[in-house]
Amino acid sequence: MLFAVSYQLRPNASEESQGRALQLFANWTPPQGYTFKAHYSYADCSGGLALVETDSAAAALEVHGAWVPFFEFKLVPLVEIEQAVKIGFGNVKWRQSVQ
């Protein structure tokens, strides 16, 4: 399953915590079953955005849990637009059928 992951620095971020997060990230690899398709840092240094694939909530917990002292995460499942449009039309048709 594909997810959009956005993350923001925690409000208590400091120069020390930034250095520690960078040191950890330079020595970290994601667990098996959690694949980054794309990963970007916000240019204002406030956090980042990633496109990830995983079928395991446990893998997502392992990844995000490692970074909890530094970031707040939002994990949102994604649906391909063609499929989303078909589902949307089905939802509209169902709503119109209810009297």
Mean pLDDT of 31-47: 96
Residue range 40-71, pLDDT digits in tens: 999 999 999 999 999 999 999 999 999 999 99
Rounded Cα–Cα distance for residues 78 and 52 (Å): 10
Beta-carbon count within 10 A of 31 CB: 14
Mean pLDDT of 23-28: 97
Fold of 2-97: Alpha-Beta Plaits (3.30.70)
Query: What's the pLDDT score for residue 98?
Result: 95
Q: Where are the domains of the chain?
A: 2-97
* Percent of the chain at pLDDT exceeding 90: 99
Mean pLDDT of 5-28: 95
Query: What's the pLDDT score for residue 27?
Result: 97
User: SS3 for 56?
Assistant: coil
Cα angle: 70, vertex 71, 76; to 5 degrees: 160
Query: What is the overall mean pLDDT for the chain?
Result: 96
